Every structure is written in structure tokens, then in C-alpha cells.
Amino acid sequence: MATRDHPAAVDADAVVIGAGPAGLWAAFELGLQTLAVHVVDSLPHAGGQCAELYPDKPIYDIPGVPVCTGQELAHHLLQQLQPLQVPLHLGQTVAELHADRTGQGEGWRLHTAQGMTLRCRALVIAAGVGAFVPRPLAVPGLEAWQDQQVFYTDPPPDVWLDRHVVVVGPGEAAVRLALHTAAHGAARVTLLHRTDRFTIDPALDDELQAAIGAARVHLCLGQPVAVLSDPDGRLLALEVATARDERLSLPVDVLLPRLGLHPRLGPIAEWGLAMERKHLVVEPSTLQTSTPGIYAVGDVAHYPGKRKLILCGFHEATLAAWAIAERLRPGQRIPLEYTTTSPRLRALLGADAP
């Protein structure tokens, strides 16, 4: 069901932006309406905030599930979606939205920053607090080397082969990357962090200490404050302020900041949809935004009495899917069916498969 290959263009009845709990549930409900639905998310995995911000923390207020972690909830939602074969386009950030009057009547054309195009007749924005993007390393002028010597996503191995790599960050992503580059051909790997305490589990900490002990990874404690470059404009070193307020020069060929991700609503705020304090204003019985055919559900949606809870997102996603089915099938009655008893829904879900 979750495809990682990204076709150049797809046509769908509905596209859902965001594979958080609200987006995954919208895809499920749209699938039950036998609408062709595609889901797009900027993260490399589904689950939104639950998977990204609190994968191991327990959630106690999903009705019928006394307790599950953020990651378990994402897993269960994907499992539930599985029979409906909804394509998930992960690692794709929707950057542009255009009205599309070609094809089957009025619709929408979306472009992702990674080069994918999707056309649809209805759009569900389930973007939560926004697309998760890497937190930048705040050193003046550093952006000049982005994607040349400074990489916020993992570059191919030949970039670091035989090079002096500096990984910056406090957590698992930074530590794993330091260990990985050290084990795969970097000339020297330095892990740069303010303190010698990392927010990692004990097993990974043991691995890190062993690598430091064997001089496979070098630890540098301090805060980068400036860059040093050569006359050809090549990044040569970071100037690092230590805890004792000394300055040291740390040579660098390849800089890999891994400071975590932060959400940005980004282009969605520029699509001309009515907004209230960075949220999309919707009509609560259909979840339609100020533009007909565009719906918003979950944390990104705003209406009087809105509560940012997962179960509210599920309810909104359900109402939006019904409203979309009615919009795309004008004049047709959309009957209420129970998954327990409806032969049509049971067949869709593979419930009677041997």
C-alpha cells in the first residue's frame, strides 16, 4: 500500500496532504466511498506528529484503545488502510496548488518540491502544524554552502568519502549519522554538541562511547559561531565557542547538521484560503474551506469550538469524506452503511476473504 516510488504525475479523485492521523483516516473514509485517493507527506514515514514528535509516548484517549504509543497508532492506522490500497507518496512536500480546469471538469493540480504532480477533483488538507523541515544551524553565512558542503538530508556516500565530516546535533539522528559515516569511509568524523550528553537510548550511547574510545568518532563540545572559508569560497572550518568561552577552529569538508525537525505551514498559507491565526477556516458540517472543493481536517482546521485532538480529527475526516463523495457524485444519495453489516464495505475491506 505505501509506495515509495513517485510517478511523474497522478490523477485522483481526491488527494490528501498529510499522512498524520487525520489524513490517514480521511484516506480510509474516502476509500470506503470508492474514491481514488492519494496521500502525500513530506516526512519519509506516515503518522504525522504521533510518529515524529512522540513515537514512544503513550496516548490514552483514542476511543476503544486504552493505551497505545504514537508509533503504534500510526502503525494501526496504516494497517487499517491497507486493504484499500491507497498510494502514499512519502518524502514529497506539496509546494504549489493551482486550479485545473483540464481533464474531468474543475479540479486541482498540485506540485511537490521534489517534482511530482498530482491532479484531483477534491483536495483534503490535513497538514497539521505544517510540513516538518530540518531545523537550520544558526551560523551567519552558512546557507551559502547548502547542498554543496552543508547537507540537511543525507547526501550520497561519495560526498563524505575520505572527507572530514562534522555532524552537529544532540539526538539519535546525529549520533547514528556520525557512526554511519565513520564506518563507511569518512576520513575523520567529529560529533559537535554543546555537552557530552546526548538524548539517545543506552544501547546507542554504548556504541557511541565505543566509537569515541576507538577514535572512530571525535567529540567536540561547543557552539559553532562563525565559518572560515578559503579564497576560492570553499568552506574550510567552523569557529566553535567552547563552554569556557574559548574559540577553536574545527576543520570541515562536509557539515551535516541534525538538529531535529520543526513544522512550517509554508505555502499552504499562501493559497488564498481564509485563515485564522495560521489555521484554515472551515465550515464544520463539511470541513470545506473558503474555496469549494478544498477541505481541511485535523489540527490545521479551525471552526468555533475546534479542539486539537486526534479523535476530533477522525470525526472531521469522516465528515469531509462524505461531503466530497456528495460533491463528486451530484444527485446520488450516499447511503449510511455499517462496516459490520454492509456486504459492499466488507468486500472492500477484504473482511470475508478466506
Task: List, as residue ranges, the binding site for FAD.
Answer: 41, 49, 54, 94, 132, 299, 340
Rounded distance between C-alpha atoms, residue 264 and residue 136, angstroms = 13
313 is an interface residue for ligand FAD by CB under 6 A: yes
By beta-carbon proximity to ligand FAD, the closer residue of 58 and 141 is 58
Rule CB under 6 A: choose which of 33, 37, 49, 163 binds ligand FAD: 49
Rounded distance between C-alpha atoms, residue 336 and residue 333, angstroms = 9
CA dihedral defined by 29, 30, 33, 38, rounded to 10 degrees? -140
257 is an interface residue for ligand FAD by CB under 6 A: no
By beta carbon distance, the residue nearest ligand FAD is: 128
By beta-carbon proximity to ligand FAD, the closer residue of 192 and 296 is 296
293 contacts 99 by C-beta, under 8 angstroms: no
Q: What is the x/- site pattern for ligand FAD, positions 55-84, by CB under 6 A?
A: ----x-x-----------------------
43 is an interface residue for ligand FAD by CB under 6 A: yes
Residue 172 burial by CB count (10 A; 0-12/13-18/19+): exposed, middle or buried? Answer: middle
By beta-carbon proximity to ligand FAD, the closer residue of 32 and 39 is 39
Sequential DSSP letters for 173-238: HHHHHHHHHHHTTBSEEEEEESSS--B--HHHHHHHHHHHHTTSSEEEESEEEEEEE-TTS-EEEE
Residue with cell 552543508: 150
Rounded distance between C-alpha atoms, residue 140 and residue 119, angstroms = 40
Min CB(264)–ligand FAD separation in Å: 8
74 contacts 91 by C-beta, under 8 angstroms: no
Please choose, from the candidates 51, 68, 39, 21, the residue with its C-alpha nearest in 3D space to the C-alpha of residue 308: 21
> Which of these ranges, 14-22, 136-144, 203-211, 288-296, lies near ligand FAD under the rule CB under 6 A?
14-22
37 is an interface residue for ligand FAD by CB under 6 A: no
Alpha helices in the chain (DSSP H): 21-32, 48-52, 70-81, 172-183, 202-213, 310-328, 343-348
Restricted to residues 110-129, the positions that interact with ligand FAD (CB under 6 A) are 126-129
50 is an interface residue for ligand FAD by CB under 6 A: yes
Min CB(69)–ligand FAD separation in Å: 10
Q: What are the residues whose beta carbons fall under 8 Å from the beta carbon of 321, sequence distance 6 or more?
A: 26, 29, 30, 32, 33, 35
β-bridge pairing 247-251 and 235-241: antiparallel
19 is an interface residue for ligand FAD by CB under 6 A: yes
User: Counting every residue, how long is the chain?
Assistant: 354
Rule CB under 6 A: choose which of 2, 54, 135, 281 binds ligand FAD: 54
18 is an interface residue for ligand FAD by CB under 6 A: yes
Restricted to residues 88-107, the positions that interact with ligand FAD (CB under 6 A) are 93-94
* Count of chain residues binding ligand FAD (CB under 6 A): 36
Rule CB under 6 A: choose which of 14, 15, 16, 17 binds ligand FAD: 17
308 is an interface residue for ligand FAD by CB under 6 A: yes
20 is an interface residue for ligand FAD by CB under 6 A: yes
Rounded distance between C-alpha atoms, residue 258 and residue 275, angstroms = 32
Please choose, from the candidates 109, 97, 235, 229, the residue with its C-alpha nearest in 3D space to the C-alpha of residue 166: 235
252 is an interface residue for ligand FAD by CB under 6 A: no
87 is an interface residue for ligand FAD by CB under 6 A: no
By beta-carbon proximity to ligand FAD, the closer residue of 93 and 149 is 93
181 is an interface residue for ligand FAD by CB under 6 A: no
**SS3 state of residue 324:** helix
User: What residues line the site for ligand FAD (CB under 6 A)?
Assistant: 17-23, 40-43, 48-50, 53-54, 59, 61, 93-94, 126-132, 266, 268, 298-299, 308-311, 313
